[in-house]
């Protein structure tokens, strides 16, 4: 949805609601704004109270109409934390987060619908209930799901404001000589392949910090801290600096895979202040077996 602001001083969320067809609520649009789905004059704005100026061009990325037949499935989940508002799941490699073309069953959403008896936030539509952020199919590890819209809006804003600390482990090709580094480079979709994200001056601001854990003769094991959370951010940034993630079928398709079925990338820890209770939520997961098995095949420097 796109429109131009009429007059100055109107709140962004109010202006979007007035420009819509009445199908959605103000809280729905507040969630989209907090999630980074709204731009003003081409720049992402995450503050609902942002004041528009006459002629501002507003674009709202509304999730496409979805398959309403997403069924609950009794799929075992590794749940590391749960309360009345949210839960933290340790997602296995190979599990798709939400239904999409070619993946209508066996997703994390199917499992969550069964586990939570359908009591999940619906701000992101029926195809992505409870999903406030996601990790790729072949990326394993910790992620948050939410059970109600109030918590969804708060968590989305916390993520947009960088108040959720997310640390990853990644095994990358080649030997990185410096112990620490930061990749500060905007990311956007590749023109020739819409599946890929590439560094692009017109992309969204993206910052990844990394620190070397171990060096091997053919690879480097890294800890990475996300300052932003763009699609494929780690995979794209590591490829950009010449050290793509080991096993990545999209960013390093012709490299040695060491028997991996996807990229060697794990969401290892997550930390934030609970949006409703004020309690510190902090969890770390062990490296999964697939990651350990690859490390055992390598020779330490």
Q: Which of 13, 85, 136, 138 is catalytic?
A: 136
Share of the chain above pLDDT 90, in %: 58
Out of 109-118, 120-129, 251-260, which region has the weakest mean confidence (pLDDT)?
120-129
Integer Cα distance of 118 and 71 in angstroms: 10
pLDDT in tens, 201-246: 888 899 999 999 999 999 999 999 998 888 899 999 999 999 999 9
| Domain match, 75 and 54 both | no
User: Which of 161, 193, 217 is at the close of a domain?
Assistant: 161
Question: Is residue 65's pLDDT more than 80?
Answer: no
pLDDT at residue 223, as a whole number: 98
Whether 83 is in a domain gets the answer yes
- Stretch 94-110: mean pLDDT: 79
Question: Could you tell me the CATH number of the domain that includes residue 15?
Answer: 3.10.290.10
pLDDT at residue 22, as a whole number: 66
pLDDT at residue 126, as a whole number: 60
pLDDT in tens, 246-292: 999 999 999 999 999 999 999 999 999 999 999 999 999 999 999 99
User: Which of 37, 60, 83 is at the close of a domain?
Assistant: 60
Cβ partners under 8 Å of residue 235, min gap 6: 136, 197, 244, 245, 248, 250, 251, 263, 265
Hey, what's the torsion of the CAs at 215, 216, 218, 221, to 10 degrees? -50
Out of 43-47, 158-162, 174-178, which region has the weakest mean confidence (pLDDT)?
158-162
Catalytic site includes residue 136: yes
Integer Cα distance of 70 and 230 in angstroms: 26
Domain count, the chain: 3
**Residue corresponding to tokens 């004059």:** 41
User: Which of 44, 60, 76 is at the close of a domain?
Assistant: 60
User: What single-letter DSSP state applies at residue 69?
Assistant: T
pLDDT in tens, 7-30: 899 999 999 988 887 666 677 788
Domain with 155 in it: 64-161
pTM, entire model:
0.77
pLDDT in tens, 273-285: 999 999 999 999 9
Question: Could you tell me the CATH number of the domain that includes residue 237?
Answer: 3.30.2350.10
């Amino acid at each position: 949805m796109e429109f131009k602001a009429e007059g100055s001083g109107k709140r962004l969320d109010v202006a979007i609601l007035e420009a819509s067809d009445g199908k959605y609520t103000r809280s729905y649009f507040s969630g989209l704004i907090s999630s980074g789905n709204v731009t003003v004059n081409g720049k992402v704005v995450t503050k609902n109270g942002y004041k528009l100026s006459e002629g501002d061009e507003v674009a709202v990325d509304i999730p496409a109409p979805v398959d309403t037949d997403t069924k609950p499935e009794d799929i075992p989940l590794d749940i590391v934390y749960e309360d009345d508002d949210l839960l933290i799941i340790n997602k296995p490699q190979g599990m798709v987060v939400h239904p999409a073309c070619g993946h209508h069953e066996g997703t994390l959403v199917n499992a969550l619908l069964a586990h939570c008896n359908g009591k999940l936030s619906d701000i992101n539509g029926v195809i992505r209930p409870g999903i406030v952020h996601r990790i790729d199919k072949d990326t394993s590890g910790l992620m948050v799901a939410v059970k109600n819209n109030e918590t969804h809006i708060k968590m989305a804003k916390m993520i947009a404001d960088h108040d959720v600390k997310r640390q990853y482990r990644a095994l990358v090709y080649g030997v990185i000589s410096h112990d620490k580094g930061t990749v500060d480079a905007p990311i956007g979709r590749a023109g020739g392949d819409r599946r890929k994200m590439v560094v692009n001056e017109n992309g969204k601001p993206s910052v990844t910090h990394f620190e070397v854990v171990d060096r091997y003769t053919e690879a480097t094991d890294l800890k990475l801290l996300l300052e932003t959370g763009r699609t494929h951010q780690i995979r794209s940034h590591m490829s950009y600096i010449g050290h793509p993630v080991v096993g990545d079928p999209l960013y390093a398709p012709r490299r040695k895979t060491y028997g991996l079925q996807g990229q060697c990338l794990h969401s290892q820890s997550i930390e934030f202040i609970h949006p409703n209770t004020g309690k510190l939520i902090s969890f770390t997961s062990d490296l999964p077996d697939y990651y350990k098995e690859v490390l055992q095949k390598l020779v330490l420097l």
